[in-house]
Structure 1
Amino acid sequence: MLLTLFHDSHYRYADPAWGVAQALRLWPAPSGSQTVKSWRVDVNGKPLRSTSVDGLGNPVASHAIDGPVTELQVTVRGQVQTHDRSGVHGDDAGGLPPMFFLHPTPLTAPSPGICSLADAVGGQGSTLERLHRLVQAVRDKVDYVPDTTHVGTVAAEAFEAGQGVCQDHAHVLITAARHLGVPARYISGYLCPMEQESAAASHAWAELFIEGLGWVGFDPANRVSPDEHYVRVACGRDYHDAAPMRGVHRGGGEETLDVDVRITQGTQGAQ
């Protein structure tokens, strides 16, 4: 499937900021599930190219703007050919060993409730079958309710509250999988709506490592494995590692952010 993507992030500051600095992980890498036809990131209308690869294999770039800054606009335009591989990403050539992704982080620290849910999945069936059951159990426990959590919400909090968004579903699944001894990592990217009336969105899911298959994607928010509707951008131990944009500003008072994501299927080139 050929996807054309537009992602606009518009920051505004209540008072002029003295300066803004950001690290961006907004460049998708080619893989068996996607071919990047074109991709452009602009900051205030000027192109920004990835300048390095972080320790997790993500293309990354940073920028800094001296004040006064009242507005900042980051725009992504791209076109990606996607392929349905039933969620199988495979092995990362030269990447970190899967065992690295067994270690908990502050956002994915285990809790008694998450561990009990993971243990209750049972041992019948293949590893793949058990993990599919785990995905369903996580989604059954954590309902999708927007605006109930934030980027600093830890897995245990969302689990106990029984509600959250895709980031929380991913963190709870990662925590549960690691408890079972399955390496797990966080994925950030985009989801093209499968229904015409649905909105496109930045999205998050998890990849779990299965012997014989390598890394396999699971999207507990939607109870599926990623297919041709997904664009994979960055991976990490949790949200903090794979966040599309992280930054700081000096002064400026309250910061507000408006985000517009549009994804279309078709042959029209990205501008």
Structure 2
Amino acid sequence: MKPERPPVAARAVAQHCPELLRAEPGPEELLPLLTRAGERLTRPLLAGLAPLAGGKALTVKAKPAKLTTLEDIAMFAPDLAANSLIGVGAESLPLLASLDAAAVLRMVDRTFGGRGEAPSPLPAEFPVSAELMIVRLETMLVRELAAVLVPGQPEALRPLRRNGNLVLLEPFARDATVAQLELDVTEPGGDTWQISLALPLPTLSALFSTSPRRSAPVRHAMADPLAEPFADVPMQLSAVLVDMAMAMATVARLEPGMVVPVAVARQVPLRLGAVTVATGTVGAADDRVALQIRSAF
């Protein structure tokens, strides 16, 4: 059967929004974003490193981000460095952070009252004192990275593991293409060392891609007061031995030599600010007045 006229579409052809059809941004578009993130990172890193690495005369400068591979990074990597693998997001996408070993050892020397000198030659592995310093630096770096890369989501970045030898750490495949960001740190004495960040392309895309995507739910866990960084926070406690009322006239007549009778409470409160955290009884320990905790809240 032959139609009398050409067929006509029942409705207009759909015109799709260009934004919905846009492909994921490539590395060439994401590298400048990583470079700008590095520039924003210099100021908080300067504040975090200054007390450990030479004071106010310290400088931190970011280099332009570039594409490379883990194999190329490992080829020029020293035998010893503070290498930390950081997990990004709910999927723990890898991010590698490396700090110069000699710089870490100089920080340890300053912490123990030295002039900031590193042994030469460097040891085959970090001593315990340097491991503690690396944990401190790692905590600071993760905090500042989270503030710059994922503002408002401090729990989105977390340390996974660390090793002084990059090959033994095995952060990701050696032939994987990664974006590398290097920050030059110059100490007052002229020593210059680097903080290196390496992000595989999936991590780079997850952090900087502007394409709409569904974010994975973040599980919030209770903060552990015995874990970093809370465990080292100094808190001023006060034990209230005497709490008594005295007339204004008596206070006005106080002078050296007067004896004021007081009574120490059976349950002495131990206070953090205005909050009572425990009570105890007064005694002695090693020729010093001590408080034996009887109850804690």
Q: Indicate the TM-score class for this superposition, using the shorter chain for normalisation.
A: under 0.3
Q: Normalising by structure 1, report the TM-score.
A: 0.21
Higher relative contact order at CA 8 Å, sep ≥6: structure 1 or structure 2? Answer: 1
Greater helix share, 1 or 2? Answer: 2
Greater strand share, 1 or 2? Answer: 1
